[in-house]
Structure 1
């Protein structure tokens, strides 16, 4: 009995002739290519697919059209990836005109004048059209391309987040998370379960990010917990650490720095020795923010120094997934500025902000958050006009993007200000009042 497994080259399905046959559902070429690659005779091939040698010969020579069931059966027995099959004629047929009309059909519906090639193409088209319809064997199929397709959706939504209000994205993000979660249930007993769990974790993390921006901290916390849970299911230790660190950062921003610091330290312990510099630098910065929010100057400075050392390492080049960008000195400077604001060190904060902004231009919503932080540094330094100019600009940007997170940061900035009631202060108060009354809308 011929062997079905283990004999096809790794790049077999990507070879030009084979890929073209998959793209046109050319079963004759595919069957013959598999036979030759495995060194079979036509008799071997016939025994494998369970048909006569004469039938196989007609298929290989393009004289035998296959029914839908036969396409499925042959693909299964030869290991042909059925989800890659497509129907796309190599030479598109021109649209009929008054000078050239399609052949007429007889009373039985058969096309007059249609030769074997036309009939074979029609059979392929019908078979592939039927393959795309829901049926017992195809519905819910999870394969090697499923996780990539889901991840692409999350990536595109993240790119839209840079220029779109979270409220405009959240319904689509939740629908995608629901799709990913349902796909994960179907993938449980497949070899692709861990990959689908990873992309479901990413989708949950993005949903958490959007809810945090909308000021819905309860839902954000729920989705971050789901992201951590699915990351553990993915068996990707680095993804689990990333999601745990993201939850730590969220808790620190949500004014529970003690919890945020504990979570960040747990993530750091799990990271262990030999971790990628980007992961090490980012987690050290998250820990630094927790220490700074608790007023521990020396611990915050120590973590920031670790982050700088990691960011400057020569092997800090391509970032590990799920990090997208390398965590460089400019990003560390941004976290140093945020820590300095929390430690009430305005001059250090302003210098670090200028260093961070010198080489990077963050997305509008993130820029608004940083502007409020910079406003706090200016206010602590006594530069009230500049502080309230920055806060006012951040408020307008936050209202434009309907970001409750930005607006709440501006409100907190105003509540914490204890200086004189200057004209710029009154102007910001008027803007906040307009926001409440609806004259400045979220």
Structure 2
């Protein structure tokens, strides 16, 4: 028995078991009124919540691709997936199903793009625990590759949530799985994640080594090569005496052709961060501006990240009026996401802009920024 919607699934469960809405609500731990609203199409819930509720009565959520052609899995506007609600196979571990595992990876990616990493941290840790308990060397290539994909996404979600040791642990498992799967692209992706985490932990040398290992993998797609060159350039930019090598790596990343609009916008914004570190503020500001504008249609998280970087760049470049404008834009973006990294950046912007507090526009922007930061991460 398969159902295409949650109302269909709830109706089928009641019919199958002879339950009333009140009895189903009691089994699910929700009210009869909620069951009624969902069945009538008045109320809805997210997939994660639907999965949790249906598991209580032995049903599960499965995902099947709606397009047959291969697509870039990591893009926010990748092909949609159809959702199927079915009774659970009690003898099977769903984490042994490659399609299910990839669907979990896609769900984490979309959730992070929309919300940020903090709301996903518990779920990401749960996925890491489930995969870590499997006998990894004995899994088939397809499942190992899918599990590497999921652990990569878990690593990035935990990174955005500020849980760096856990993020690095997930990245190392993703790398091990990719190695056993003989999946070159997945290995490069794992090195990309590990380089990202190392740099955020103020270890640029380790970040450089991870990026270089990724770049030594042959026959990588252009999108992966460009990202690794960007990671290498940003790490080198944080090390004294490596400015020329850093600029070369960042330029190689920008010279990549054939990227999708999403990947191109994200790459430009990420390269701009390295350029700002090298003191190329005008080019960095232009690329960040383009990235922030483009990301508005895809990812609130990415847009907020680049707005924050614009404000930081303006502060370093000693442009208070520009900084105030970017701070106001960041303030408007903050309520839509929950990201430890963005919160940390907002606090840094608040602190570093204090030198201009006598300027009316800056003072107002700082007041607005302080009022809109997440209560869990208040400004001092």
Relative to the length of structure 2, the TM-score reads 0.65
Matched, 1:224 2:224: no
Partner of 1:385: 321
Identify the match of residue 212 of structure 2 among 265, 272, 278. Answer: 265
Identify the match of residue 338 of structure 1 among 273, 277, 292. Answer: 273
**Structure 2 gaps, min length 5:** 2-86
Q: How does 1:137-176 map to 2 (within 5 A)?
A: 139=92, 146-176=97-127
Contact 1:399 1:407 in 2 (8 A): no
- Distance change (3 Å), C-alpha of 1:293 and 1:414: farther
Shift of 1:178: 3.6
Partner of 1:245: 192
Contact 1:330 1:355 in 2 (8 A): yes
Counterparts of 2:155 and 2:166 in 1: how far apart (Å)?
7
Q: State the structure with bigger RCO (CA 8 A, min sep 6), 1 or 2.
A: 2
Counterparts of 1:331 and 1:160 in 2: how far apart (Å)?
17
Shift of 1:148: 1.5
Deviation sequence 1:324-371 (CA, Å, 0-9, x none): x58865444323321121122221212222444565545111111111
Matched, 1:423 2:365: no
Shift of 1:188: 5.3
Shift of 1:258: 2.3
- Distance change (3 Å), C-alpha of 1:411 and 1:258: farther
**Structure 1 gaps, min length 5:** 1-22, 24-130, 318-324
Q: How does 1:18-417 map to 2 (within 5 A)?
A: 134=90, 139=92, 146-182=97-133, 184-185=134-135, 189=138, 193-269=140-216, 271-272=217-218, 274-294=219-239, 296-309=242-255, 311-312=256-257, 316=258, 330-357=265-292, 361=296, 362-395=298-331, 397-417=333-353
Counterparts of 1:437 and 1:155 in 2: how far apart (Å)?
26
Counterparts of 2:232 and 2:131 in 1: how far apart (Å)?
31
Shift of 1:404: 1.6
Contact 1:282 1:327 in 2 (8 A): no
Relative to the length of structure 1, the TM-score reads 0.57
- Distance change (3 Å), C-alpha of 1:200 and 1:419: same
Deviation sequence 1:377-406 (CA, Å, 0-9, x none): 222343313313323432453354222210
- Distance change (3 Å), C-alpha of 1:380 and 1:217: same
Bigger mean CA offset, 215-224 vs 393-402: 393-402
Contact 1:177 1:200 in 2 (8 A): no
Deviation sequence 1:233-286 (CA, Å, 0-9, x none): 3221221121011110222233322221121112212x23x4332222221111
Contact 2:293 2:303 in 1 (8 A): no
Partner of 1:110: none
SS at match of 1:368: helix
Shift of 1:308: 3.5
Counterparts of 1:339 and 1:389 in 2: how far apart (Å)?
22
Contact 1:379 1:387 in 2 (8 A): yes
- Distance change (3 Å), C-alpha of 1:388 and 1:132: closer
CA RMSD, 1 decimal: 3.5
Partner of 1:84: none
Give the number of the structure whose alpha-carbon radius of gyration is greater.
1
Deviation sequence 1:205-248 (CA, Å, 0-9, x none): 22222222222222222222222222223221221121011110
Counterparts of 1:328 and 1:188 in 2: how far apart (Å)?
33
Partner of 2:29: none
